Amino acid sequence: MNEQNHIPLPKDTPAYNCADCGAVSLNPEIICKVQGVGTKQDWCGSKGSMPPKYCKNRTNVDRHQCRNCGQTAINAQLLCEPVKLDIPKP
């Protein structure tokens, strides 16, 4: 996704959390073990520390991190100022 044409989603957009790696996604189908559902406002804006571990099944390796709060998500649209993270080698 090009950062210049990024359009963040509304704050009440549902976001699904993975119990295994801590990933947050718009689609529960691409998360290995859904832990729960919240909203974008529950995620982006609260201070994040380190990016979550990458998917141990190597199915969802894309990660974006917010420049403002440090939170990480699979979908850049869940963040207000996303930056794509490098994919680690297996």
> 3-state DSSP: the chain helix, strand, coil percent, rounded to 5?
15, 25, 60
Q: How many domains is the chain partitioned into structurally?
A: 1
Q: Does a structural domain hold residue 87?
A: no
Q: Does a structural domain hold residue 24?
A: yes
DSSP assignments along 58-74, one per residue: SS----EEETTT--EES
Percent of the chain exceeding pLDDT 90 equals 1
Q: Does a structural domain hold residue 2?
A: no
* Nearest Cα to Cα of residue 13 among 87, 80, 58: 80
Is the Cβ–Cβ distance between 82 and 64 less than 8 Å?
A: yes
- What residue ranges in the chain does DSSP mark as E strands? 14-18, 24-25, 34-39, 64-66, 72-73, 82-84
Structural domain range at position 49: 9-82
Q: Does a structural domain hold residue 25?
A: yes
Q: Does a structural domain hold residue 88?
A: no
pLDDT for 33-74, tens place per residue? 888 898 888 777 676 656 556 666 556 667 888 888 888 888
Q: Average pLDDT of the chain?
A: 77
